[in-house]
Chain A
Amino acid sequence: AQSVAQPEDQVNVAEGNPLTVKCTYSVSGNPYLFWYVQYPNRGLQFLLKYITGDNLVKGSYGFEAEFNKSQTSFHLKKPSALVSDSALYFCAVRDSGNTPLVFGKGTRLSVIA
């Protein structure tokens, strides 16, 4: 069975500082990993995904994520946080076949001016 863990419910960071939102996963085969962002009272928006290839994936709004197979992690990063990045972030994984995405519980990011 596939699963995702987001160990931090809340991450606080000062504007202009780098940010990291952590995600670890468990799958039986090769992982397909996704990050989504949810702004208040909105649906989930796709940020980026890892399928294969380069371990550093670049996505929307300046976000990137690093796939680490040995640590089974897929942490979301941004070099310089903006107040407008404040939102709820979800990591998700799919392994094989036609299985739906399995989501973590989400991490609330708060960027303080």
Chain B
Amino acid sequence: NAGVTQTPKFRVLKTGQSMTLLCAQDMNHEYMYWYRQDPGMGLRLIHYSVGEGTTAKGEVPDGYNVSRLKKQNFLLGLESAAPSQTSVYFCASRIDRGRGDTQYFGPGTRLTVL
């Protein structure tokens, strides 16, 4: 049971390039989330999904797109990277048994946009 995994761990992009971050979970969780972490800002929600085939916007969705084609995977896309998207990105998931469910986090992806 690997829990929540993220690929890649590190990436450097040039402004305008595109990339996709992959999040995978093997816990059969319904809900999945993408957060970004910036110094002094805590974790801010980008997009989330309450089930396969569904997505919703979070607090800071601009410049990002997501897809949840399979229950175990949640992809985060940057179509045209900007320096403001330099951040550490965390994926999380939780089962759907109630509001007290714990969210479990992946190890993060450190992205630098030059």
Determine how close the nearest CB of chain A comes to the CB of B21; give it in whole angstroms. 14
Judged by a CB distance under 8 angstroms, whether A11 is at the interface is no
Binding site for B on A (CB under 8 A): 9, 32, 34, 36, 41-46, 49, 51-52, 90, 94-98, 100-106
- Nearest to A91 among chain B residues (CB) is B42
Q: How many A-B residue pairs have CB under 8 A?
A: 54
CB <8 Å contact, A98 and B103: no
Secondary structure type dominating chain A contacts: loop
Min CB distance, B51 to chain A, in Å?
10
Known A-B contacts A90-B43, A104-B42; the reply to A43 vs B100 at CB < 8 A is: no
Chain B interface residues (CB < 8 Å from chain A) = 4, 31, 33, 35, 40-45, 48, 50, 58, 90, 92, 96, 99-100, 102-108
Closest to B90 in A: A43
B108 CB to nearest A CB, Å = 5
- Nearest chain-A residue to B6 (Cβ)? A43
Besides the contacts A34-B103, A100-B31, what 8 more A-B pairs have beta carbons closer than 8 Å? A43-B105, A43-B107, A44-B105, A94-B99, A100-B45, A102-B45, A103-B35, A103-B42
The answer to whether residues A100 and B102 also contact, given A43-B90, A43-B108, A105-B41 and a CB cut-off of 8 A, is no
Chain B residues contacting A44 (CB-CB under 8 Å) are: 43, 90, 92, 105
Q: Which residues of B have CB within 8 Å of A96?
A: 99
The residue of chain A having its C-beta at the shortest distance from the C-beta of B45 within the complex is A100
Query: Are B90 and A32 neighbours in the complex by a CB distance under 8 Å?
Result: no
**Chain A residue nearest in CB terms to B41:** A105
B-side contacts of A90, CB under 8 Å: 42-43
| A98 close to B42 (CB less than 8 A) | no
* A103 and B33 contact, CB distance less than 8 A: no
Cα A98 to Cα B50 in complex, Å, equals: 8
Q: Which residues of A contact B100 (CB under 8 A)?
A: 32, 49, 51-52
